[in-house]
Chain A
Amino acid sequence: MNDLILPLYKNGFLTPEANFFFAIVLGFTFGFVLERTGFTRSQLIADTFYFKNIAVPKIMGVTVITATTWFILFAWMGWIDLDALFTPGTYVWPYLVGGLLFGVGMVMAGYCPGTAVAGLGTGKSDALVFIIGLFGGAFLYFVLYPYVQDFVSSSNLGVFKLHDLFGGNAYTSYILTVALESGIIGFLMLLQKLTNKGEK
C-alpha cells in the first residue's frame, strides 16, 4: 500500500508514453484555464504594470498558494516526495539580468510564451507575431551563446529553496510563500487604489 509515493513519473509509476499522453491533457487544461481567466489577452497582462487591473498577480499568487498547500498537505500525509519534484536551479546574477530583460519584453509585448500559445488559440494576431519573435530570440541566443555562456552559468547555487536561505524545513518555506504571495496581492491592491484615485 505504502509503495506508491508521488510524483508518479519520477518514481516509475508511469511509462514515458503515458507521461506524454498526460502532457497533452494537462497542457489542454492549462490553456483552457488561461483563456477562462483572461490570461490570453495581452491587454490584461499589460494592465498590471499600470495598476489598471491586477488580476494577473492575484491569479498567480493564489495559484502558488493553492499548489503549495496541496504539496504540504500531501507531504504531511507522507504521500509525496517533494524533493523528487523538478525544481529549477538558482543562478543569482543571470536571473536578475534575465528577469529584467524578460520584464521589458513583457511590457512591450503583453505576453509570455505560455499565454501567447493559448492566445494564438483564441485568434490573437499579436500573439502570432510574438511567437514568431520567440523563434528569433532563440536564434539570437544560439548565435551569441559562446559570448554569454560564462555569465549565464555564473553564481550557481544549485537547487536552493527558501528554507535553505532562512533556515527551517519545507513548512517554513510554505509559510514564507503564503505570506509573500498574500503580502504582494495586498500591497498591489493598495497601490491600485492609490494610483487610480481621481482617475475616471
Chain B
Amino acid sequence: MEKKYWNPYFGGVVLGTMLFLTFVIASQGFGASGTFSRATAQLLVNSDKSWLENAYIASYFRHGDNAMLNWTVIETIGIFLGGFASALLAGRFMIRPDKAPGYPMAKRFLWALIGGMIIEFATRITRGCTSGQGLDGMATFSVGAWIFMFAAFAGALILSPLWRKQWVGENNEGGEE
C-alpha cells in the first residue's frame, strides 16, 4: 500500500531542521553537484594522468590523489541510500521514468540526458546546485544564492512551453492530482 507524501509545510520544517543540523555539525550545508564533477575528474585522471594539466581538475587534487575523499561525495552516497530506504518503506520503489502519459520514452530520456549535461555544466559556473548554492546560500543569507535562484526560475519559466508536452501532456493531463 502506497503511503501519502508529506505535507509541504511539514516537509519544509523537517528539511530546514536537517539543514540546520548539517551546518551545526559539518559547518557546511547539503550539496550534490560537486560529487559528479569530482567523480568525472577522478575517472579521467585514473585513465590518463595528463588530465591533471587541466587547471580545474588539478584543483581537486591539491590535497591528495583522491578527489572522492570529500564530505559532499560521502554525503551523496547517503542521499542515495536515504531515498532508497524511504521509497521501500513507503511502498514506492518502482523502476520507471516520470513523464506525461503517452509521451515517448526515448524523448523523455533524451531530455533527461541533455538536461543533466546542461545542469552539471551550469553548476560549475554557479559553484553549486539548488542544494549547495540555493538552499545553503539562502540559509546563510548570501546574495549570490538569490541571484542564482531567481535566474534559475526565470530560465525554467521562459522555456517551459517547449517541454509542456513532456510534463503536462496534450490536453492538460498528467500534472498533479
Contact = CB atoms under 8 A, between A and B. Distances in A.
Nearest to B140: A87
Interface in A53-74: 53, 55, 58-71, 74
A7 B54 CA distance: 34
Contacts of A31: 78-86
Interface in A84-107: 84-92, 94-107
B52 to A, nearest CB: 11
B130 to A, nearest CB: 4
Interface residues of A, number: 134
A82 B29 CA distance: 13
A181 B147 CA distance: 14
A91 B168 CA distance: 35
Contacts of A70: 16-17, 20
A90 B75 contact: no
Contacts of A140: 117, 121
A38 B175 contact: no
Counting chain B CB atoms within 10 Å of each CB, the highest count among A6, A26, A74, A139 belongs to A26
A88 B127 contact: yes
A136 B110 CA distance: 13
B171 to A, nearest CB: 10
A86 to B, nearest CB: 4
A66 B15 CA distance: 8
Given A47-B167, A50-B160, A82-B140, A60 B134 contact: yes
Which label, helix, strand, loop or mixed, suits the secondary structure of the A interface? helix
Interface in B19-33: 19-33
Contacts, number: 527
B151 A63 contact: no
Given A36-B90, A63-B16, A102 B28 contact: no
Given A32-B85, A52-B175, A102-B155, A114 B131 contact: yes
Contacts of B74: 20, 23-24, 27
Contacts of B17: 66-67, 70
A114 B12 CA distance: 16
Interface string A11-55: 100100001101111111111111111101111101111101101
B30 A103 contact: no
B57 A142 contact: yes
Contact of B96 (A10, A20, A91, A123): A123
Interface in B127-161: 127-160
Interface of B: 5-6, 8-9, 11-33, 35-37, 39-41, 43-44, 51, 54-57, 71-72, 74-87, 90, 92-99, 108-109, 111-160, 162-164, 166-168, 172, 174-176
Given A121-B86, A165-B143, 11 more contacts: A26-B75, A34-B82, A47-B175, A49-B167, A65-B16, A66-B20, A102-B148, A112-B119, A121-B85, A137-B122, A162-B143
